Amino acid sequence: MIHDILIHNGLLVTMDKDSRIIEKGAVLIKNGEIADLGPESDLIDADAGRKIDASGKIIMPGLINCHPHLPMTMFRGLADDLPLDVWLNEHIFPAEASQVNPGSAAQWSLHACREMLLGGITTCCDGYFHEDHVVKAIHESGIRAIAAQGVIDFPAPGVPDPGENIAAARNFVEATKDISSIITPSIFCHSPYTCSEATLTAAKQAADDLGVLFQIHVAETKNERNMIQDLGNRSIVQYLNEIGLLDKNTLMIHAVWIDDNDMEMIYQSGAGVAHCPESNMKLASGICPAAKLIEKGVRVGLGTDGCASNNDLDLFAEMDTAAKLQKVALLDPCAMDAKTTVQTATIRGAAALGLDGVTGSIQKGKQADIILVDTDKPHLIPMFDVYSSLVYSAKSSDVDLVMVQGRVLVQKGRLL
Amino acid sequence: MIHDILIHNGLLVTMDKDSRIIEKGAVLIKNGEIADLGPESDLIDADAGRKIDASGKIIMPGLINCHPHLPMTMFRGLADDLPLDVWLNEHIFPAEASQVNPGSAAQWSLHACREMLLGGITTCCDGYFHEDHVVKAIHESGIRAIAAQGVIDFPAPGVPDPGENIAAARNFVEATKDISSIITPSIFCHSPYTCSEATLTAAKQAADDLGVLFQIHVAETKNERNMIQDLGNRSIVQYLNEIGLLDKNTLMIHAVWIDDNDMEMIYQSGAGVAHCPESNMKLASGICPAAKLIEKGVRVGLGTDGCASNNDLDLFAEMDTAAKLQKVALLDPCAMDAKTTVQTATIRGAAALGLDGVTGSIQKGKQADIILVDTDKPHLIPMFDVYSSLVYSAKSSDVDLVMVQGRVLVQKGRLL
């Protein structure tokens, strides 16, 4: 049975819409849900079977990784510092063909979930192949997840006949939707350059029919538009918009090569964006105008991308890089300030995934996806502003405790 | 007394000129010096009072931080995400005026040295004011250092009369040179926009007379050339070269706004460069063409810059960012490959400081500045290439053991 839990005596960073911070705060958790929060003095006598003393620690919502490709953890560091075509065609694609199977997908997804939990990530939004086996690993780990079966117009792991790709995705969603209250199925079209218009629209139709999130890589590289047939004078975003792919149930991943018109179109469509700056840098793809998208009102979350192109699943490092990259790209030190950056890794990320009613901030009625960050480290002293400390100084290794839906999965920096 | 030490059974990454890696390697240390190294089987019977089993760990040279401003650790996170003039004039300068004194400079320098040692940094090249007190902290910490007294044409902490700045620097060098075999004095002119030509040349003359390294911030921001009087049609690098400031005993810090002619001039002069990408990003200064400088043959080392502008002293994070930033800036995934990046944090950094005869690689006759990196972490599994793992996946918190001149200062990730 799950005890009621009181986390108290910590610096409570709620990430709610008022960005409320309570210096000596407490959170009461009942049945995996946040039942109350406030100053410690108001809650200290609450009836809770377990009390967690968070003195010297930051209490904050768990981080949200909008794009990890979990099984690709097996390819961490397999091939780096190479031209994109050599990297893909001579290393990643052959490795995927020979090494991705149900067993390896599950094994490395579990490994990935453990790495994420240790680093304070409580929700991930995955997309890959053999996703039914990925889901088994997610379930075992206890992390919250959106999990999507991949759709691509090539033979793929588990789907040798591309003609079956939509049916496989539909079957995956049906088979997954009742496994766990914290795992939500989804459909993930690889990209507009690897899927025909017919595939793209059929996959989006399937996602709409089933009421699930539709994910797609969009405008990642400069050369991408050359790879898309029948694009004509349209931008990639315009193309996807015209064929009905962009709406509030769509997550666009990368969105690097987009202009002001594209940004307006994304905003109007209501689609969310998964921003993966470290992957975009390492693969030399380019720089997503994330600060502009956020300013416009687009729901932007942060993602690590897979371990073949980052090479880790560390959102603390990603926050630091995300903030600094926007500043140098715009030559504006005010761009992507620390608070906004923490939001992209928490509440904005949750919103991009459509999960902001459930997680992403510490608010009454939300699920208790909460982490404690230990501030008793030389690199976190002094601390003038908690958002600055979290973005520019904190490391994933400072995460002390992690709970998902009130269930403690990491304690004293170790997996339970 | 210091025992002879044998480190054995680890993955030995020498960073020597042949980039030799020994899968099951060992290093024998006598009197703080590397007496021998090779496959474990050749050395295991060596007579050593202490044996350190490095199984599951990388044995590598300690990292070299070419630019930390140690006392500024007290300003970590004091003021972030602000326009440069507001940041400097309304926050950093007033804080320096009111809070930097001999006691605080020593206290926060010790704090900084501890942070660096925990993160695997065994050498730093500092420059600030009250540097005699900084040196006391460096000495207490046991880290190897170049320590420079600052020179600036304004009243500075400890030097209220700018007319005394050169004399103060000379006195500092004389008073510091015999304190410790691992602390080398130096002179640090703040910049061409805060020092007159007369000050710049007098400071360089003093450095040459005393046979010490001359350091200077150069071409950090786009606006810098507007701030320099009498620059005329010359670039900043050209100006410094013409007044005799650039030679092999000069360390240029930042070097962001330089063109091909400047790069050629730097190369011909023999000057070294301290590349501080995270600071340049966070302050929105710009991007140093580090990969081009390295290709040209310039000695380029890596620096964190002070904690007011980074906000940490973490060279593992800096390596990751340095590699990724060059790739995205050049839209070339091959730029700044992982091995080159590790070199900038080790042997190339040592060379930039003129210390490559002493430290920066694991070679017979060099000082035993060595670290062990624990690879038994989810984010370091799998490991296909050790340089990739060190740059793209390892964290400063993976550092297990740190020794400077054979003296163990960090063990099991904790300061002794």
For residue B210, is pLDDT > 90? yes
For residue A212, is pLDDT > 70? yes
Q: Is B397 an interface residue toward A (CB < 8 Å)?
A: yes
- Nearest-Å Rg of the Cα atoms of chain B is 21
Q: Is B2 an interface residue toward A (CB < 8 Å)?
A: no
pLDDT in tens, B7-38: 999 999 999 999 999 999 999 999 999 999 99
Can you tell me the mean pLDDT for B58-75? Answer: 98
Q: Is A219 an interface residue toward B (CB < 8 Å)?
A: no
Q: Determine, for residues A286 and B328 on separate chains, whether the beta-carbon distance falls below 8 Å.
A: yes
> Which residues face A28 on adjacent strands?
A6, A36
Q: Determine, for residues B333 and A78 on separate chains, whether the beta-carbon distance falls below 8 Å.
A: no
Residue A42 C-alpha, separation from nearest chain B C-alpha, in angstroms? 31
Q: Determine, for residues B317 and A320 on separate chains, whether the beta-carbon distance falls below 8 Å.
A: yes
Q: What dihedral angle (degrees, nearest 10) is formed by the CA atoms of B330, A329, A314, B411?
A: 80
pLDDT in tens, A173-190: 999 999 999 999 999 999
Q: Is A327 an interface residue toward B (CB < 8 Å)?
A: yes
For residue B2, is pLDDT > 70? no
Cα B361 from Cα B357, distance rounded (Å): 9
- Which DSSP symbol is given to B367? B
> Which residues face A184 on adjacent strands?
A146
> Which residues face B277 on adjacent strands?
none
Cα A351 from Cα A288, distance rounded (Å): 19
Per cent of chain A over pLDDT 70 is 100
Per CB-CB distance under 8 Å, the chain B contacts of A115 are: 378-379
Per CB-CB distance under 8 Å, the chain A contacts of B393 are: 76-77, 311-312
Residue A397 C-alpha, separation from nearest chain B C-alpha, in angstroms? 7
Per CB-CB distance under 8 Å, the chain B contacts of A383 are: 76-77
Where does B63-352 sit in CATH, by number? Answer: 3.20.20.140
Can you tell me the mean pLDDT for A377-401? Answer: 98
Type of residue numbered A214: F
What is the pLDDT confidence band of residue B250, given thresholds at 50, 70 and 90?
very high
Residue B197 C-alpha, separation from nearest chain A C-alpha, in angstroms? 29
Q: Is A137 an interface residue toward B (CB < 8 Å)?
A: no
Residue A84 C-alpha, separation from nearest chain B C-alpha, in angstroms? 7
Q: Determine, for residues B80 and A114 on separate chains, whether the beta-carbon distance falls below 8 Å.
A: no
Where does A5-62+361-415 sit in CATH, by number? Answer: 2.30.40.10
pLDDT in tens, A57-91: 999 999 999 999 999 999 999 999 998 889 989 99
- Report chain A's terminal Cα–Cα distance, integer Å: 16
Can you tell me the mean pLDDT for A286-294? Answer: 98
Q: Tell me, letter by letter, the H, E, C secondary structure of A53-94.
A: ECCCEEEEECEEECCCCHHHHHHCCCCCCCCHHHHHHHHHHH
For residue B1, is pLDDT > 60? no
The C-alpha angle with vertex B9 and arms to B7 and B13, in degrees rounded to 5, equals 75
Q: Determine, for residues B384 and A283 on separate chains, whether the beta-carbon distance falls below 8 Å.
A: no
Type of residue numbered A63: L
Domain boundaries, chain A: 5-62+361-415, 63-352
Q: Is A115 an interface residue toward B (CB < 8 Å)?
A: yes
pLDDT in tens, A157-172: 999 999 999 999 999 9
* Exposed/middle/buried for residue A381 (C-beta within 10 Å: 0-12, 13-18, 19+): middle
Q: Is A257 an interface residue toward B (CB < 8 Å)?
A: no
What is the pLDDT confidence band of residue B226, given thresholds at 50, 70 and 90?
confident
Q: Determine, for residues B80 and A285 on separate chains, whether the beta-carbon distance falls below 8 Å.
A: no
Of A77, A79, A278, the CB nearest to B324: A278
Q: Is A222 an interface residue toward B (CB < 8 Å)?
A: yes
Name the helix (H) or strand (E) containing A29. strand A21-30
Of A284, A320, A381, the CB nearest to B328: A284
Q: Is B285 an interface residue toward A (CB < 8 Å)?
A: yes
pLDDT in tens, A354-370: 999 999 999 999 999 99
Strand runs labelled E in A162-296: 183-189, 213-218, 250-254, 272-275
Q: Tell me, letter by letter, the H, E, C secondary structure of B290-344.
A: HHHHHHHCCCEEECCCCHHHCCCCCHHHHHHHHHHHHHHHHCCCCCCCHHHHHHH
Contacts of B328 (CB under 8 A, 6+ apart): A280, A281, A284, A285, A286, A287, A325
Q: Determine, for residues B80 and A385 on separate chains, whether the beta-carbon distance falls below 8 Å.
A: yes
pLDDT in tens, B165-192: 999 999 999 999 999 999 999 999 999 9
Cα B262 from Cα B293, distance rounded (Å): 10
pLDDT, residue B253, reads 98
Query: Tokens 């091939």 sit at which residue?
Result: A79
Per cent of chain A over pLDDT 90 is 95
CB pairs under 8 A between A and B: 172
Q: Are B397 and B377 in contact (CB under 8 A)?
A: no
* Exposed/middle/buried for residue A414 (C-beta within 10 Å: 0-12, 13-18, 19+): exposed
Cα A82 from Cα B286, distance rounded (Å): 25
Strand runs labelled E in B155-259: 183-189, 213-218, 250-254
Per CB-CB distance under 8 Å, the chain A contacts of B92 are: none
pLDDT, residue A230, reads 79
Complex-level ipTM: 0.97
Reading the block at residue A368, the tokens are 């208790």
Q: Is B95 an interface residue toward A (CB < 8 Å)?
A: no
Residue B103 φ/ψ, nearest 5 degrees? -65, -45
Q: Are A380 and A394 in contact (CB under 8 A)?
A: yes
Type of residue numbered B290: A
Sign of CA dihedral B230, B232, B238, B243: negative
Greatest extent of chain A over all pairs of C-alpha atoms, in Å = 66
* Exposed/middle/buried for residue B381 (C-beta within 10 Å: 0-12, 13-18, 19+): middle
SS3 A331: coil
For residue A252, is pLDDT > 90? yes
For residue B120, is pLDDT > 80? yes
Of B286, B323, B382, the CB nearest to A331: B286
What is the pLDDT confidence band of residue B230, given thresholds at 50, 70 and 90?
confident
**Nearest CA-CA partner of A123 in A413, A324, A405:** A405
Of A81, A111, A392, the CB nearest to B333: A81
Can you tell me the mean pLDDT for A287-315? Answer: 97
pLDDT in tens, B302-356: 999 999 999 999 999 999 999 999 999 999 999 999 999 999 999 999 999 999 9
Q: Determine, for residues A317 and B317 on separate chains, whether the beta-carbon distance falls below 8 Å.
A: yes
Cα A256 from Cα A282, distance rounded (Å): 13
Note if the bond before A94 is cis, omega within 30 degrees.
no
Closest residue in A to B397 (Cα–Cα): A397
pLDDT, residue A2, reads 62
